[in-house]
Amino acid sequence: MMLNSLAAEERNEFSQLPLLPLITTKSGVSFDAAADIWAYQDGVHNTYLDFTKLTNSSKSFREYAKRVLSWYAENRSPDHLKNMFQRLQHFLRASNHEISRISAVDLLNYRAGLTESTAWYLGTFAGFLRKWKKLGYPGVDDDAELLLKQLRVEGNAKGVAVLTWDVNDGPLTHIETEALNAALNNAYACGAMSMADYVLSWLYVLLGQRNTQHAALKVCDVQLNQDIDGTPKYSILMPSAKKGTTSPRARLVKRPLNEQFGEILVEYAETVRAKFESILPDPTQAPLFPISRIVRRSPGFEFHRTANDIGQITAHVFDSLGVISERTGKAINISATRFRRTIGTRAAEEGYGPLIIARLLDHEDTQNVGVYSANSPAIIERIDRAIAMEMAPLAQAFAGTLVDGLAEDSSRRIIDLRVDRSRAPMGDCGKHGFCGFSAPIACYTCSSFEAWIDGPHEAVLQHLLQQRDKQLKVADKRIASINDRTIFAVAAVIQACNEAKLKLLPSENNEGGIQ
């Protein structure tokens, strides 16, 4: 009788609910909230919620959930909406029975099944349930609301990956960063990477912004001005991902860029502008990283890629480089978040305060940036020859080739009397021109370097190790470690030379030979 009474009460509540109308998001996108699948493009976000996937729930419960989530669709960002849906979906999947109303017992069972790493799910879900009760829709019992007031709900752990220098999600080390930068430049120089992918990748490396921000960029955001003396000044107006805005471009923040990258960025932006001259009335309003066809989106974002698209492109580009981490011996795991954490860590190492770091990372306040100041740089305290030889295969810093040293063109030879007084060449420069970098230090990580098998590479390694030890005594670890990747590159050359020399030795036969 009690079950029948509850079912009748539920039917009565459901019959009194107003029909779901068309919902309009903050950015002006409308969709049918009564549908079981919400699928629409909102600015640079792709929203897809399938209510039939809310397993272990009654039809009436799903209808109540639609009405609560409609409020989030109208008043919060697409990411916030999707997060609430995912937390609800996770709660229902964890249940061992069909949910028509969420009770205190259901919440206690859910809490008991969470692990240390997922305990924060309940905190986010609790906020969703409080909004549910505040909106006045059925589906959450009073005892569940009372329990939420009494429970100590764990928040999402902040800064763990940064503080522990997590090898998969934490900030990149100096050596990992240098390896990625070199691989990017080499791939673009040899034609293995498009200009669009190259520009996008370097924006992540230099600025550490979110996928949403890159997706919202337009050609007009690329800025070229001049100083009083005529020196070019390059910058980009980066869309801010602030909460509460109606558009991902509601606020733009000027970010300065170095001249070397700025020149390439301006050239790329001009090629995009030219492609849209016959498509848009104002081609400077074209997206900086466009798709080739028009897609139904918010006004002004018709040719923009979604944030997910941008994230997938970036992951594919960096994965294709196959850069190995010296810490794991495996390919570096790349994400926009890792670049952000790296930027924050580097800024703290340079002595910048919380306000500056928060501005660099586009944070609304400083509550989450203190972890960077508390972090210590992942720099090897001391490197000797043995450590260098052990680390060399992992770092994969040597980008050039080995040669026999018989080239006739002596003008290409790389000699440094500070390193070796015998005037023996370390190798040849395959660039056939002046590069402007300091030889031989910069040569060992350059793809144009042709290392001589009989070159004085041991002397170079010894010179770099001695310089590093001196710097550790008079400067901080950051200054002392500036040539660490070069040290590993020289060690790799020494190993390669030794292997090459062994192959050149006459082979021993078994009779009287070495057993």
Locus of tokens 């994400």: 335
pLDDT of 251 higher than 60:
yes
Q: Is 435 left (phi over 0), alpha (psi -120 to 50) or beta?
A: alpha
d(CA 277, CA 283): 5
Residue 8 burial (C-beta neighbours within 10 Å; 0-12, 13-18, 19+): exposed
Closest CA to 208 of 345, 108, 82, 325: 345
- In this prediction, residue 372 carries a pLDDT of 73
Q: Is the pTM of this model over 0.85?
A: no
By three-state DSSP, how is residue 423 classified? coil
Query: pLDDT at position 361, please?
Result: 82
Distance, CA of 429 to CA of 427 (rounded, Å)? 7
Phi, psi of 112 (to 5 degrees): -65, -25
Calculate mean pLDDT across residues 342-366.
78
- Tokens 């950051």 — which residue? 478
Strand partners, 414: 427
Exposure string of 350-382, with b = 16+ CB inside 10 Å and e = fewer, is eebebeebbebbbbeeeebbebbbebebbbbee
Stretch among 116-130, 260-274, 378-392 having the lowest mean pLDDT: 378-392
What pLDDT digit, counting tens, does each position of 99-118 carry?
999 999 999 999 999 988 88
77-91, 218-232, 352-366: least confident range: 352-366
Q: How confident is the model at residue 515 (pLDDT cuts 50, 70, 90)?
A: very low
Half-sphere exposure of 51 (CA within 13 A, CB side): 20
Is the pLDDT reported for residue 126 higher than 80? yes
Domains and CATH numbers, the chain: 2-150 (no CATH), 174-324 (1.10.443), 385-504 (no CATH)
Query: Alpha carbon of 470 to those of 80, 382, 456, 485: distances in Å?
Result: 52, 11, 22, 17
Give the model's confidence band at 162: pLDDT under 50 very low, under 70 low, under 90 confident, else very high: confident
| Confidence band, pLDDT 50/70/90 cuts, at residue 242 | low
Asked which of 15-19, 160-164, 195-199, 427-431 is least confident by mean pLDDT, the reply is 15-19
Whether residue 56 contacts residue 65, with contact meaning beta carbons closer than 8 Å, is answered with: no
Taking residues 138-144, report their average pLDDT. 93
Report residue 394: phi and psi, to 5°.
-75, -40
Dihedral angle sign, alpha carbons of residues 90, 91, 94, 100: negative
The reported pLDDT for the residue numbered 11 is 55
Give the pLDDT score at 511: 45
The two structure tokens encoding residue 386: 């043995």
Whether 508 has a pLDDT exceeding 80, the answer reads no
Residue 21 φ/ψ region, left for φ over 0, alpha for ψ in the -120 to 50 degree band, beta for the rest: beta
Per the structure block, which two tokens stand in for 40?
């629409």
Which residues are CB-neighbours of 197 under 8 A, at least 6 positions away? 313, 317
95-104, 149-158, 449-458: least confident range: 149-158
The two structure tokens encoding residue 379: 């720099």
Reported as a single tens digit per residue, the pLDDT across 35-44 is 999 998 888 8
Q: Which residues contact 224 (CB under 8 A, 6 or more apart)?
A: 232, 233, 234, 262, 266
The pLDDT assigned to 150 comes to 85
DSSP conformational letter for 242: -
What are 164-180's pLDDT values in tens digits?
A: 788 888 899 888 998 89
| Mean pLDDT, the chain, integer | 84
For the chain, counts of helices (H) and of strands (E): 19, 11
Phi/psi at 304 (5° precision): -80, 145
Look up residue 251 and give its amino acid: R
Q: Which of 126-140, 289-303, 319-333 has the lowest mean pLDDT?
A: 289-303
Which of 317, 341, 331 is closest to 179 using CA atoms? Answer: 331
Q: What is the mean predicted confidence (pLDDT) over 457-470?
A: 89
Alpha helices in 375-456 (DSSP H): 385-395
Of 381 and 232, more confident: 232
pLDDT of residue 378: 59
- CA dihedral (352, 356, 357, 361) positive or negative: negative
Give the position of tokens 């349930």. Answer: 129
CA distance 232 to 490: 37
Read off the pLDDT band of 513 (50, 70, 90).
Answer: very low
Computed over its alpha carbons, how large is the radius of gyration of the chain? 29
Structure-block tokens of residue 235: 């910058």
Give the other-Cβ count within 10 Å of 268's Cβ.
20
* Sequence-distant (≥ 6) Cβ neighbours of residue 212 within 8 angstroms: 44, 45, 79, 239, 241, 248, 307
Q: Rounded to whole angstroms, how far apart are CA atoms 508 and 515?
A: 9
Which residue matches tokens 């960077």? Answer: 372
Confidence check: pLDDT of 60 > 60: yes
Give exposure, 329-342, as e/b (b: 16+ Cβ within 10 Å). eeebbbbbebbbbb
Q: What is the DSSP letter of 222?
A: E
